[in-house]
């Protein structure tokens, strides 16, 4: 029983306890969920320890217990410098989501918070699991509560969106399931490190065609989750219809399951196939970046705009991963966190606005700066972080990713230039939106007396703001612990001789 | 002689079978079925099935068919009316499928037994009541007991479904 | 015996009768006749058993057809009871009328 | 020497005012805002004195910012002679403008907001100036852009102000796009972003290797510089940026931020000088911008717009200077421009302030008697920008023009022509505002001392700033030459001629200007409407992108195609289901037929599989 | 040839219970309430105990009944089916005023028949067992005599069942003719001789007969109608029990006796399995009656089982057994919820009727969700492990294509399971539906099912080990 186990199972325990709480006592339920999630968060901070002090680069907090005897399925969890931050991101955002739902959720309160904690359990689990079977279980476990969060507490078209979300992601994940089973049949184990070692040593021999198909099976699941163009259309719907907490968890953490999967499983296991497909992946990612930005620009709905911006931002992450060098990958991981913080923050703020006005249409706002200055100030900061202003978090990620892709042999300068236009476009749509919402005169009477941030909302937004600044100014706090792990992943990716020598030299210079 | 008997009764059986299918009144069909059964009983006898031929007449034709006729009478079932919209699929596909099915089975039977021996009356005499009884109560004891349960179920079922009160 | 009938002819006869049973099932519209078609099919099977029994010089086939008869009797009891309840509910024995549940 | 104090002080001012300003009195806000900049200025002065002659670069290392693989980017500040000039300009002019703003902004609400943004700007500008590597420079670069955005949109009730802010930011982003690609290229080539390392490596490169890569880097950097310094084709944001409060125009859009491009090119001189093609491009862009902006300036009626186009034009000069290799002249002009252009704007601000917000020259006139200090200080600034002998502009502009002549004489001639136009339109503005009869309806009054004080100080600098021999000071950094007294006098003469023509048009023979404009109405309209560049951009880029995104990408591809396919699979499979369920006809006979069909198929298939055994 | 009687003890227990139920009913005073269901429980538990005692002993009786682990596992599954079915039958019997004694007796007889079918190693016994369970289930289907749909369902089921039995029997006849025996061991011996002349027509006809009972496409036509018309408890019973028994026999025949001829039947079964999975899910999507929808889902699940059967490797055997167990629990749970919700006034059978169930009966809605998600194959529910096991078998056997069809159809199937979930949780408008109270016994059964689903989903090792150990004995 390590600290990690505690972090994984605390939310589950809290979930079960909430189920036992009396359903009329809203305040108790809220307080309990808050307490539980905060405790989880604090516990998860302890996970940084080994990375900060010794920085082994390999998996720590390793727990490997047999779960199902035959086939040999283990409860095998551990984290490295990459998953560490994603775990912390999940645990950080959960209490925030609890807080933001405090008053907004007024029916089925108990179930809401229960689902939220169950979701946390699933998400944390996904990032820690090292057994494919376990991974898949967590993967799907996280799906169900989100489905309910959207479907029960969402807005008008919630059902369509919830079902779309569910089916879309499930389609991908079942293909991954086939891949997992196939891999098991070849290797006789579900243990990720062992499979990896087998693939590396050649003791699990796969034809290149099999590798390609397996890669695609895994890729399908992850690409839908990311989501990569053109598999993204579930995302705007789900985001728009979800309650604020749902949108936040979805955008901030759930999408990262896809990119995390790519980085952890897809590419390191089948580097050759990944390299073969890299051109396509990169093309899709770049299309996603530009396309998402352009479509975001013309959205009339705030949440939809943010949702499409996620498509764009996640395109950057995929780009970073596909560049397969140290800057690209570090940037990708960093951008995952950034996007979690910034887009999470945006959804929180948009949620606060729509709580006040019960609409998310941009044209229904305008002139808020005079009415709710604090909220708008926070909004501005988060917007700036989202468009990658240097000094705030978004910049570091985008910089590293683009740098990585620039230096990568897969992408190179020309592709990178295309991708970098996304930076221009992001400024365009975000600032335009910001202007329409906050500047000008108040055009709708209803907006004239909106309340500014209250104490609870301050509590929600301050951590986000703090994170944007800290991550922008001191990125090394985060980069340093992840660096050895990223190096490990990269050494896996570049393990075969198929990499052209000059390329290796070039990326070696940067390492 | 054997061949003659075969042809007569096989022909009768097929005729009655066709009649069963063609007749629109259930009583006519029932009587045709009894005809088939009787013809088959003769053929059974020819193949050495003394016991089974008797059982065919007593149990099948005698008991089961009487039940049928009884129900037909009870329900006062008349001739089928003019054809109403039924299953067009069944109507058109049926005959094709049937032909295919028959052809297949016959082909397979021919292929299976290319040079089968001729049937000689009396060359197999294992079908006597004694033989049947001996085997039935030793080797086939369990199935025999099982059928008792089967019949019990049939009784219970029939009662449950058909009893008056409730 | 030159003019003896080969055993396969018996089998083909049974196949024809089986086919006629199937035809009756598909083409007859009165439920009772349809049910009788099933009996015809069972008879055809019985003939197959007996024929094989002759060929194998075994009594087992006879016993099988005896069991088939028992089964047929049981089926008849239950089946006719079901037909009775259907008739009570609908006052019809036309099989095409019994199709309220579909799709 | 704690260089970090220089930018951090304004940042503190920003934090205090930004977080608590709402609750502080205006006095306190001004105290923190101006005080922090004053301290920063003082600390800068003290530091520079402490560092003395700055024979070599002085570097302070603080912490590693980004460490990724072998690439390590640290937050370092450095001072060399170039930085020293910039530091003084930024903190000095910045301080004056802060003081001025106390008066100018006194009536505005959101006072604290203004000062906090201004302080934030100072912070980023100083970071930009002090940066010792490209990325930190980039931080400052984007940061000042942000502040520019915020301050342009300061009057946030006005649609055009916030539009202008967006435009500024986005156009700058286009420039930054190039800049960031340049940074990537530098990393790829040199493995570092540290100025010393990169420039040493660049200098050490054999020419045949260096030309291509350095040209590429330089051109990309140039893209960034054109964005920030409002050069063709990205100048369009600057005139609109005048929507911000006037002190902002003075500080950001005249004196400091817009010159960042020039500074950056001067900083990267080691790259540019080895890339002749890039240098020529810089010069041509600068020259073209100078000329075209000047022509536009001829016909503007908004006093701030006139000065805005003049800023664009003057920045063109600086580019020209850089492009012909006269970096020190460029920086020199940068400094003098900071003085006189800040003064022009502040003076214009004083006029606007005195007229309660009126900016249209046609609504002014005869203001000399109402606001003498403003008029006189503005006159000095106008002289300086016109290159009137022995004013600051005379020295710096001529340094550039002389260098241009040495590079290519035709550049010189265009430059001189532009100088004439500059003199003309600046004095046109001055005459229209201060001479003749008052045409407006407000009650003009002179500004308080807190505003006129800075004006007077800047007037002094505009007049005497030319005697600060910046080129000499920068000599160790940029090897330079080119002295030609005759040419200098010639261009000064053209300037004086421009002033004279303006006098004729607007004072001596009133009405001449109008008839002249009428006689050339086509050209006039073209110029008055700034060559319709904004319209062309809008029609060629903005509208297609927005409309295309809305109707093609969003409605078409996203909702139509992709979701169409997805939902299509859904409805189709439901449709298939709907068709297949019809097989379930409810009819027993049909079911039986299916069973038979199945049997036949099974038998046939098994027959085939078994090879008809 | 009699040998030990032990192998038939489990079914004897159940038969005895059935007889006891009949006797009890016969001696019941009008209006008196007797715990007849309790008799059923006793009999079933007796069967379970005897099955457990027989575990690993590989006893056989009469040469035709083999109490090997495979059969015993199915027996235990059938015990579970029986217990749950009886438990959820209460509301229907009560409401429809059905003859309690006969109802339970028939159900127990059917279970006995199923057990016999699962353990039989002789085609004749399989046929007789098939008839036993079929006859009982026909009657149960039509036991609501006054219901038009119930009787129609019974008629359809009966006629088609008898029709397909004839096909099956015809197949048995051919097998007999060619091997001189109906015993599986004998058949296998002959089948494995090189150039064996075992008639393909026999295989085909047996396949048709079994396919009908497991409602594989295109022999599935009776299923939706019969499931819709029968009382929900009976539907649950037949969708699980009949399926389990039929699959056990199907597997026993095809995985042992006809295994040597695998090449001949595997391609047909491939197509049948694919068609079954696809049709079951695709048509299920367009249903509005919950029972009908679950009928199609049950067809699809049959497809997954066929996939395991087709794979015919050691994984597949365990997979079939585990799948049968989880499917039995899950599906009975779902039908239990339906049974509980039915009222005399309202069938509450359309998807729309489930609107607002969550606010009215949250526990019931939660249970239904668990059942549906398990049917959809979601971790950590048992259905996931089961599906995973099946696909695992398929991939191992070299049928990745079918496995992909399987996973994709399971996605589609999730769509229609979700429709119910959507209704229960997300549609809260409209008039509040009237839902009857939940009887204690049924409620307990449903809760236990849910717990079992989680148990099998989270800690499946023990049961998986049993299932994996249940090899079909070679004779």
* Residue of B160, B162, B165 for testing the chain E interface, max E β-carbons within 10 Å: B160
In the three-class reduction of DSSP (H, G, I as helix; E, B as strand; rest coil), residue C94 is classed as strand
Closest CA to C2 of B2, B11, B124: B2
For tokens 């509560």, the residue is A145
pTM to 2 decimal places: 0.89
Cβ neighbours of residue A434 closer than 8 Å, sequence gap 6 or more: A379, A380, A383
CB spacing of D595 vs E208 below 8 angstroms = yes
DSSP per-residue string spanning A134-167: HHHHHHHHHHHHHHHHHHHH--TTHHHHHHHHHH
Measured between CB atoms, does A65 come within 8 Å of chain E? no
Measured between CB atoms, does D580 come within 8 Å of chain C? no
- pLDDT tens per residue, range A300-321: 888 889 999 999 999 999 999 9
For the beta carbon of residue E5, count every other beta carbon within 10 angstroms.
Answer: 13
Distance of CA A473 to the CA centre of its chain: 21
Mean pLDDT across the stretch C2-23? 84
The span from the CA of A172 to the CA of A316, in Å, is 21
Burial (CB count <10 Å: 0-12, 13-18, 19+), residue D204: exposed
Mean pLDDT across the stretch A25-31? 88
The single-letter DSSP state of residue D374 is H
Residues in chain E whose beta carbon is closer than 8 A to a beta carbon of chain A? 373, 378-380, 384-385, 388, 391-392, 395-396, 400, 403-404, 407-408, 410-411, 414-415, 418, 421-422, 425-427, 459-461, 464-465, 468
Measured between CB atoms, does B100 come within 8 Å of chain D? yes
Mean pLDDT across the stretch D428-454? 83
Distance from CA of B105 to the nearest CA of C (A): 7
**Whole-number average pLDDT of chain D:** 85
The single-letter DSSP state of residue D505 is I
pLDDT of residue E328: 93
- pLDDT tens per residue, range D54-99: 778 888 888 888 888 888 888 989 998 888 888 888 999 999 999 9
For tokens 């972090």, the residue is A7
Mean pLDDT across the stretch E440-457? 91
The span from the CA of D352 to the CA of D350, in Å, is 5
Measured between CB atoms, does B93 come within 8 Å of chain D? yes
Distance from CA of A336 to the nearest CA of D (A): 16
CB-side neighbour CA atoms (13 Å) of A461: 25
pLDDT of residue A506: 43
- pLDDT tens per residue, range A338-379: 999 999 999 999 988 888 888 888 888 888 888 888 888 899
Mean pLDDT across the stretch D279-295? 90
Measured between CB atoms, does D255 come within 8 Å of chain A? no
State which residue of chain D sits closest to B110, comparing Cα positions: D613
Mean pLDDT across the stretch E402-417? 88
Q: Do chains B and A touch (3 or more CB pairs under 8 A)?
A: no
Q: Closest CB to C36: pick one of B29, B48, B90.
A: B29
The span from the CA of A477 to the CA of A465, in Å, is 17
The span from the CA of A225 to the CA of A251, in Å, is 10
The span from the CA of A135 to the CA of A138, in Å, is 5
Mean pLDDT across the stretch C46-63? 89
State which residue of chain B sits closest to E109, comparing Cα positions: B153
* Structure tokens, A267: 């590419």
- pLDDT tens per residue, range D384-412: 888 888 888 888 888 888 888 888 888 88
Of the pLDDT bands very low, low, confident and very high (cuts 50, 70, 90), residue B84 is low
Closest CA to A257 of A95, A79, A387, A122: A122
Mean pLDDT across the stretch E420-439? 75
Mean pLDDT across the stretch E233-253? 92
CB spacing of D143 vs A406 below 8 angstroms = no
**b/e D257-276 (16+ beta carbons within 10 angstroms → b):** bbbbbbbbbbbbbbbbbbbe
Residues of A in contact with D65 (CB under 8 A): 473-476
pLDDT of residue D530: 76
Cβ neighbours of residue B145 closer than 8 Å, sequence gap 6 or more: none
The span from the CA of C90 to the CA of C84, in Å, is 10
The span from the CA of A37 to the CA of A31, in Å, is 10
In what helix (H) or strand (E) does residue D68 lie, and over which residues does it extend? Answer: strand D58-68
* Residue of C6, C43, C85 for testing the chain E interface, max E β-carbons within 10 Å: C85
Q: Which residues pair with D194 in a beta bridge?
A: D133
Q: Is the pLDDT assigned to residue E4 strictly greater than 80?
A: no
The span from the CA of E97 to the CA of D129, in Å, is 93
Query: Dihedral of CA E108/E110/E116/E117: which sign?
Result: negative
Alpha carbon distances (Å) from A399 to A260, A436, A475: 19, 28, 12
For tokens 């988060």, the residue is A382
ipTM: 0.87
CB spacing of D584 vs E271 below 8 angstroms = no
Closest CA to B148 of E40, E165, E127, C67: C67
Q: Is the pLDDT assigned to residue E1 strictly greater than 80?
A: no
Q: Do chains B and E touch (3 or more CB pairs under 8 A)?
A: yes
State which residue of chain C sits closest to B115, comparing Cα positions: C6
Residues of A in contact with E459 (CB under 8 A): 67-68
pLDDT of residue A55: 64
pLDDT of residue E57: 82
State which residue of chain D sits closest to E197, comparing Cα positions: D613
**b/e B125-157 (16+ beta carbons within 10 angstroms → b):** ebbeeebbeebbeebbebbbebbebbbbbbebb
Distance of CA A259 to the CA centre of its chain: 7
With contact defined as beta carbons under 8 Å apart, do E252 and E475 qualify? no
The span from the CA of E278 to the CA of E256, in Å, is 28
The span from the CA of D36 to the CA of D38, in Å, is 5
* Residue of D583, D584, D597, D609 for testing the chain B interface, max B β-carbons within 10 Å: D597
Length of chain C: 103
The span from the CA of A228 to the CA of A235, in Å, is 10
Omega into A182 within 30° of 0, i.e. cis? no
CB pairs under 8 A between B and C: 253
Residues of C in contact with E224 (CB under 8 A): 101
Mean pLDDT across the stretch A117-130? 92
CB spacing of C41 vs E145 below 8 angstroms = no
The span from the CA of E391 to the CA of E383, in Å, is 12
CB spacing of C83 vs E155 below 8 angstroms = yes
Of the pLDDT bands very low, low, confident and very high (cuts 50, 70, 90), residue E196 is low
The residue with greater pLDDT, D574 or E305, is: E305
The span from the CA of B162 to the CA of C2, in Å, is 55
The span from the CA of D516 to the CA of A70, in Å, is 97
CA angle A346, A352, A358 (to 5 degrees): 120
CB pairs under 8 A between B and D: 42
With contact defined as beta carbons under 8 Å apart, do B119 and C7 qualify? yes
The residue with greater pLDDT, D192 or E436, is: D192
CA angle E451, E453, E456 (to 5 degrees): 105
Q: Do chains E and C touch (3 or more CB pairs under 8 A)?
A: yes
């Amino acid at each position: 029983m390590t600290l990690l186990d505690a972090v994984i199972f605390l939310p589950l325990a809290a979930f079960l306890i909430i189920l036992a709480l009396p359903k009329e006592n809203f305040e108790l339920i809220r307080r309990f969920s808050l307490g539980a999630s905060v405790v989880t968060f604090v516990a998860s901070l302890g996970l940084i320890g080994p990375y900060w002090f010794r920085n082994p680069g390999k998996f720590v907090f390793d727990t490997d217990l047999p779960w199902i005897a035959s086939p040999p399925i283990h409860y095998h969890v551990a984290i490295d410098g990459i998953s560490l931050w994603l775990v912390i991101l999940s645990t950080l955002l959960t209490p925030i989501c609890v807080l933001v739902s405090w008053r907004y959720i007024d029916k089925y309160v108990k179930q809401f918070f229960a689902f939220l904690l169950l979701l946390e359990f699933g998400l944390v689990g996904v990032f820690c699991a090292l057994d494919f079977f376990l991974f898949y279980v967590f993967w799907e476990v996280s799906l169900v509560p989100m489905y309910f969060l959207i479907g029960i507490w969402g807005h008008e078209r919630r059902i369509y969106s919830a079902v779309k979300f569910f089916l879309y992601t499930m389609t991908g994940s079942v293909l991954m399931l086939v891949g997992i089973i196939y891999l098991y049949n070849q290797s006789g184990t579900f243990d990720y490190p062992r499979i990896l070692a087998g693939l590396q040593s050649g003791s699990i021999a796969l034809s290149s065609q099999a590798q390609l198909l397996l890669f695609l099976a895994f890729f399908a699941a992850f690409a839908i989750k990311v989501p990569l163009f053109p598999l993204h259309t579930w995302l705007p719907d789900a985001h728009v219809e979800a309650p604020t907490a749902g949108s936040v968890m979805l955008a901030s953490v759930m999408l990262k399951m896809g990119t995390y999967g790519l980085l952890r499983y897809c590419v390191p296991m089948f580097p050759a196939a990944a390299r073969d497909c890299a051109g396509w992946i990169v093309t899709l990612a770049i299309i996603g970046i530009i396309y998402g930005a352009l479509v975001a620009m013309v959205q009339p709905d705030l949440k939809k705009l943010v949702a499409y911006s996620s498509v764009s931002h996640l395109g950057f992450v995929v780009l970073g991963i596909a560049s397969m060098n140290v800057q690209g990958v570090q940037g990708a991981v960093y951008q995952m966190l950034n996007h979690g913080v910034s887009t999470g923050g945006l959804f929180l703020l948009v949620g606060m606005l729509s709580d006040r006005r019960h609409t998310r249409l941009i044209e229904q706002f305008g002139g808020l700066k005079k009415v709710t200055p604090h909220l708008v100030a926070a909004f501005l900061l988060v917007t700036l972080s989202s468009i990658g202003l240097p000094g705030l978090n978004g910049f570091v990620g985008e910089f590293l990713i683009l740098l990585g892709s620039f230096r990568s042999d897969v992408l190179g300068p020309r592709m990178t230039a295309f991708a970098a236009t996304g930076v221009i476009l992001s400024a365009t749509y975000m600032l335009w939106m910001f202007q329409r919402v906050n500047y000008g005169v108040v055009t709708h009477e209803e907006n004239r007396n909106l309340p500014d941030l209250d104490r609870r909302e301050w509590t929600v937004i301050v951590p986000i703001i703090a994170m944007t600044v800290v991550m922008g100014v001191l990125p090394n706090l985060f980069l340093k612990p992840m660096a050895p792990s990223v190096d490990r992943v990269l050494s896996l990716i570049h393990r075969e001789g198929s990499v052209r020598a000059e390329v290796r030299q070039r990326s070696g210079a940067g390492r | 002689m054997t061949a003659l008997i075969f042809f007569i009764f096989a022909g009768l059986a097929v005729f009655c079978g066709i009649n069963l299918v063609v007749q629109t009144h259930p009583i006519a069909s029932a009587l045709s079925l009894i005809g088939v059964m009787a013809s088959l009983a003769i053929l059974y006898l020819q193949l050495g099935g003394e016991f089974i031929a008797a059982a065919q007449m007593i149990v099948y034709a005698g008991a089961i068919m009487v039940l049928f006729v009884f129900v037909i009478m009870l329900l006062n079932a008349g001739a089928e009316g003019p054809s109403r919209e039924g299953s067009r699929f069944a109507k058109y596909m049926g005959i094709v499928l049937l032909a295919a099915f028959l052809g297949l089975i016959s082909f397979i039977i021919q292929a299976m037994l290319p040079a089968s021996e001729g049937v000689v009356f009396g060359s197999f005499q294992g079908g006597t009541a004694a033989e049947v009884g001996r085997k039935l109560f030793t080797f086939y004891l369990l199935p025999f007991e099982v059928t008792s349960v089967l019949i019990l179920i049939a009784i219970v079922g029939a009662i449950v479904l058909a009893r008056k009160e409730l | 015996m030159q003019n003896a009938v080969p055993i396969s002819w018996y089998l083909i006869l049974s196949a024809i009768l089986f086919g006629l049973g199937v035809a009756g099932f598909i083409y007859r519209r009165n439920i009772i006749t349809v049910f009788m078609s099933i009996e015809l099919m069972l008879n055809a099977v019985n003939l197959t058993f007996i024929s094989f029994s002759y060929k194998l010089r075994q009594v087992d086939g006879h016993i099988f057809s005896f069991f088939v008869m028992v089964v047929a009797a049981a089926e008849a009891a239950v089946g006719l009871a079901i037909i009775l309840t259907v008739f009570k509910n609908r006052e019809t024995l036309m099989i095409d009328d019994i199709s309220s549940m579909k799709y | 020497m704690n260089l970090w104090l220089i930018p951090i002080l304004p940042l503190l001012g920003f934090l205090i005012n930004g977080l608590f300003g709402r609750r502080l009195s205006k006095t306190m806000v001004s105290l923190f805002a101006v005080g922090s900049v004053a301290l920063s200025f003082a600390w800068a002065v003290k530091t520079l004195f402490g560092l003395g002659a700055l024979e070599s670069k002085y570097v302070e290392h603080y912490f590693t910012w980004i460490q990724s693989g072998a690439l390590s980017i640290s937050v370092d500040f450095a001072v060399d002679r170039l930085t020293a000039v910039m530091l003084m300009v930024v903190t000095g002019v910045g301080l004056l403008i802060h003081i001025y703003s106390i008066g100018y902004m006194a009536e505005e609400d959101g006072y604290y907001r203004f000062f906090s943004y201004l302080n934030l700007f100072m912070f980023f500008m100083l970071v930009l100036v002090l940066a010792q590597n490209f990325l930190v420079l980039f931080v400052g670069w984007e940061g000042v852009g942000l502040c520019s955005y915020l301050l342009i949109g300061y009057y946030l009730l006005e649609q055009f102000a916030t539009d202008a802010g967006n435009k500024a930011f986005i156009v700058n982003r286009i420039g930054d796009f190039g800049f960031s690609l340049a940074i990537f290229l530098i990393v790829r080539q040199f493995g570092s972003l540290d100025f010393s390392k990169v420039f040493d490596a660049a200098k050490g490169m054999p020419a045949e290797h260096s030309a291509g890569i350095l040209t590429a880097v330089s051109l990309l950097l140039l893209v960034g510089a054109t964005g920030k310094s409002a050069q063709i084709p990205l100048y369009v944001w600057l005139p609109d940026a005048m929507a911000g409060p006037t002190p902002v125009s003075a500080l950001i859009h005249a004196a400091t931020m817009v010159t960042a491009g020039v500074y950056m090119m001067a900083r990267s001189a080691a790259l540019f000088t080895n890339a002749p093609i890039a240098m020529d491009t810089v010069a041509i862009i600068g020259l073209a911008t100078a000329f075209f902006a000047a022509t536009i300036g001829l016909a503007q009626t908004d006093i701030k717009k006139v000065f805005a186009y003049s800023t664009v034009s003057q920045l063109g000069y600086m580019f020209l200077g850089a492009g012909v290799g006269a970096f020190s002249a460029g920086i020199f002009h940068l400094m003098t421009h900071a003085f006189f252009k800040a003064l022009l704007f502040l003076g214009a601000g004083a006029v606007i302030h005195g007229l309660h917000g009126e900016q249209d020259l046609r609504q002014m006139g005869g203001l000399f008697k109402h606001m003498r200090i403003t008029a006189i200080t503005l006159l000095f600034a106008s002289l300086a920008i016109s290159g009137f002998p022995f004013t600051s502009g005379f020295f710096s502009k001529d340094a550039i023009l002389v260098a241009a002549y040495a590079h290519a004489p035709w550049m010189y001639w265009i430059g001189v022509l532009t100088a004439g136009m500059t003199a003309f339109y600046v004095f046109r503005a001055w005459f229209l505002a201060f001479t003749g009869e008052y045409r407006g309806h407000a009650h003009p009054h002179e500004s308080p001392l807190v505003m006129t004080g800075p004006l007077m100080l800047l007037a002094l600098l505009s007049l005497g700033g030319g005697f600060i021999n910046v080129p000499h000071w920068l000599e160790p950094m940029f090897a330079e030459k080119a002295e030609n007294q005759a040419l200098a006098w010639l261009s000064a003469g053209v300037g004086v001629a421009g002033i004279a023509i303006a006098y004729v048009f607007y004072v001596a023979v009133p009405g001449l200007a109008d008839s002249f404009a009428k006689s050339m109405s086509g050209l006039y309209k073209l110029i008055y409407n700034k060559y319709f560049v904004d319209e062309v951009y809008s029609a060629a880029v903005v509208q297609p992108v927005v409309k295309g995104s809305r109707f093609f990408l969003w409605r078409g591809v996203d909702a139509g195609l992709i979701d169409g396919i997805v939902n299509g699979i859904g409805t189709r499979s439901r449709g298939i289901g709907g068709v297949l369920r019809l097989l379930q006809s409810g009819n027993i006979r049909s079911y039986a037929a299916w069973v038979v069909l199945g049997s036949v198929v099974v038998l046939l298939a098994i027959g085939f599989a078994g090879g008809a055994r | 040839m009699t040998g030990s009687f032990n192998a038939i003890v489990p079914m004897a227990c159940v038969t005895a219970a059935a007889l006891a139920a009949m006797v009890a009913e016969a001696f019941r005073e009008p209006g008196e309430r007797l715990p007849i269901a309790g008799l059923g429980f006793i009999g079933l538990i007796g069967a379970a105990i005897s099955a457990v005692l027989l575990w690993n002993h590989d006893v056989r009786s009469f040469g035709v009944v083999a109490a090997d682990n495979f059969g015993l596992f199915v027996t235990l599954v059938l015990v579970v089916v029986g217990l749950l079915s009886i438990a959820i039958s209460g509301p229907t019997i009560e409401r429809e005023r059905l003859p309690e004694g006969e109802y339970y007796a028939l159900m127990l007889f059917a279970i006995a028949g199923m057990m016999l079918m699962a353990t039989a190693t002789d085609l004749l016994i399989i046929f007789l067992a098939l008839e036993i369970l079929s006859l009982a289930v026909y009657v149960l289907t039509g036991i609501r005599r006054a219901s038009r749909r119930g009787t129609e369902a019974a008629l359809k089921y009966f006629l088609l069942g008898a029709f397909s039995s004839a096909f099956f029997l015809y197949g048995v006849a051919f097998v007999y003719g060619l091997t001189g025996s109906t015993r599986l061991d004998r058949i296998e011996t002959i089948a494995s001789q090189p150039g064996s002349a075992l008639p393909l027509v026999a295989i085909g006809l047996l396949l048709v007969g079994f396919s009908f009972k497991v409602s594989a496409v295109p022999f599935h036509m009776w299923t939706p109608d019969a499931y819709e018309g029968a009382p929900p408890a009976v539907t649950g019973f037949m969708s699980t029990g009949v399926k389990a028994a039929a699959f056990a026999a199907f597997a026993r025949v095809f995985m042992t006796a006809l295994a040597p001829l695998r090449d001949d039947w595997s391609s047909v079964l491939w197509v049948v399995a694919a068609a079954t999975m696809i049709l079951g899910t695709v048509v299920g999507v367009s249903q509005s009656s919950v029972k009908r929808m679950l009928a199609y889902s049950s067809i699809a699940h049959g497809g997954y089982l066929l996939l395991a059967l087709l794979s015919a490797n050691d994984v597949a055997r365990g997979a079939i057994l585990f799948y049968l167990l989880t499917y039995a629990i899950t599906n009975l749970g779902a039908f239990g919820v339906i049974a509980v919700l039915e009222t005399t006034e309202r069938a509450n059978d359309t998807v729309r009727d489930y609107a607002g169930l969550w606010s009215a009966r949250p526990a019931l809605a939660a249970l239904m969700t668990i059942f549906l998600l398990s049917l959809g194959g979601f971790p950590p529910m048992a259905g996931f492990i089961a599906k995973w096991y099946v696909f695992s078998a398929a991939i191992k056997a070299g049928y990745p294509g079918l496995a992909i069809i399987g996973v994709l159809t399971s996605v589609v199937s999730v769509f229609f399971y979700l429709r119910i979930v959507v209704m229960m949780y997300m549609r809260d408008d409209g008039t509040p539906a009237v839902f009857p109270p939940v009887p204690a016994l049924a409620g307990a059964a449903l809760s236990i099912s849910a717990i079992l689903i989680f148990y099998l989903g989270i800690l499946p090792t023990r049961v998986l080990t049993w299932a994996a150990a249940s090899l079909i004995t070679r004779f």
